[in-house]
Amino acid sequence: MIIQTHIPSPIDDIIIQATEIGVSYVGFYPHVEHVHTPFEKVTNNAILCCAEQLFEYFNKTRTTFNVPLDTKGTAFQQSVWQALLNVPFGKTNTYGDIATSLSNPKAVRAVGAANGKNPISIIVPCHRIIGANSKLTGYAGGLERKSWLLKHEGII
């Protein structure tokens, strides 16, 4: 069973979904009143842990996450998402860097596609991946949010 809630953030509400195993989705949702289960009523430990750590991240008291995850994807997608976890706060990598770290330097486009399918925004930091020309490239949450997150981390 998937439990869902939303929390406020400086860049719109964030939806958090989790199973009994861990967080399965973190994404953005424009602020609306009473669309999802109110956070105060949630008892799922993964959601509570995720929400607390996101609040700390936005308050600049957290730079790493240790939230239990329950992501679904192909073996390649899982490997890309795992590689994203190695990109530290305040740093960026390119799609080529990630492909090379997976010992598959020609898989740049496949890395980009897997990055775009990342279901765990911010926690699995796909916003830290930029183009080879150092320009901001696609972000499922929108380039405005990606820019905000990178500024928040002191990158741009």
Give catalytic residues, as residue numbers. Answer: 126
> Residue 66 burial (CB < 10 Å; 0-12/13-18/19+)?
exposed
Q: What is the CA radius of gyration of the chain?
A: 15
Alpha helices in the chain (DSSP H): 45-58, 75-84, 95-101, 108-116, 143-152
